[in-house]
């Protein structure tokens, strides 16, 4: 009993140190996001590749996905920014999956053990893994945290990656928000060159995006609660 307690304390300390270090470096990097944006703009034709690389490298250390998606809307045309975010989201999710499953598995398991809501999910994946993963992606859970949590469950890589598409609703809405903010700020700052942008349509699209996000998150939370109620008392292996 005493040995088990000591082992639990040891794992908890390791998990706390791991999470602390990751969050610290994530915060430091996030502070320098404006500098990264300036650097990406200077890349010219290579800016898309530079942005995707920055996204894929920073998301696994918990740099804000929100800030990166918003930055895509500021840096690129709307369609291009959304395409780059789609590619970067899948690539970052894939990288986190392999990091969590093969490199940081024990640390991730120790971290999850302290969070009951995450620790009760693994057994449920036996019945409807894709549906549950997709619904989880519709909730406000951070991309990196949820990806690490899923990486140590029984799920396979390709269903996991396909279910990542659920978070694109949220990520692409943030790209749209960044794009809208840029053009609205230009409008408020004074006379600008004609851009072909319909500002009423931009505003309407923003309202619709917020409503869709709210409805999707609410629907997902309701569905997850129903699934969990059908599988009580199960925990992660």
Question: Is 173 within 8 Å of 198 (Cβ atoms)?
Answer: no
Whether the pLDDT of residue 47 is over 60: the answer is: yes
What is the rounded distance in angstroms from the CA atom of residue 225 to the CA atom of residue 140? 15
CB atoms near residue 95 (< 10 Å)? 15
What is the rounded distance in angstroms from the CA atom of residue 101 to the CA atom of residue 99? 6
Output the DSSP codes for 170-184.
HHHHHHHHHHHHHHH
Domain assignments of the chain as residue spans, ordered by start: 2-229
Residue 152 — pLDDT band, cuts 50, 70, 90?
A: confident
Query: Across residues 116-141, what is the average pLDDT?
Result: 73
Question: Is 139 within 8 Å of 224 (Cβ atoms)?
Answer: yes
Q: What angle do CA 22, 168, 226 make, to 5 degrees?
A: 90
Query: Across residues 111-122, what is the average pLDDT?
Result: 65
120 vs 159, higher pLDDT: 159
Residue 110 — pLDDT band, cuts 50, 70, 90?
A: confident
Question: Is 70 within 8 Å of 149 (Cβ atoms)?
Answer: no
pLDDT for position 11 = 47
Residue 97 — pLDDT band, cuts 50, 70, 90?
A: very high
Whether the pLDDT of residue 122 is over 70: the answer is: no
pLDDT for position 121 = 62
């Amino acid at each position: 009993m005493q040995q088990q307690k000591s082992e639990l304390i040891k794992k908890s300390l390791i998990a706390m140190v791991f999470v602390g270090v990751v969050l610290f470096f994530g915060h430091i990097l996030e502070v320098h996001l404006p500098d990264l944006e300036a650097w990406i703009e200077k890349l010219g034709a290579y800016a898309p590749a530079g942005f995707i690389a920055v996204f894929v490298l920073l998301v696994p250390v918990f740099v804000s996905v929100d800030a990166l998606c918003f930055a895509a809307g500021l840096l690129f045309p709307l369609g291009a920014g959304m395409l780059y975010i789609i590619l970067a989201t899948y690539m970052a999710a894939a990288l986190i999956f392999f990091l969590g499953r093969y490199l940081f598995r024990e640390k991730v398991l120790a971290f999850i053990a302290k969070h009951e809501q995450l620790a009760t999910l693994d057994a449920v994946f036996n019945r409807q893994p894709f549906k549950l993963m997709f619904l989880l992606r519709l909730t406000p859970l951070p991309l990196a945290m949820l990806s690490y949590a899923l990486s140590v469950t029984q799920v396979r890589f390709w269903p996991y990656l396909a279910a990542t598409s659920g978070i694109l609703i949220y990520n692409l809405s943030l790209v749209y928000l960044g794009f809208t903010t840029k053009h609205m700020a230009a409008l408020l700052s004074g006379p600008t060159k004609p851009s072909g942008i319909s500002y009423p349509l931009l505003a309407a699209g923003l309202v619709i995006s917020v409503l869709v996000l709210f409805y999707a998150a609410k629907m997902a939370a309701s569905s997850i609660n129903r699934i969990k109620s059908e599988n009580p008392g199960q925990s992660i292996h």
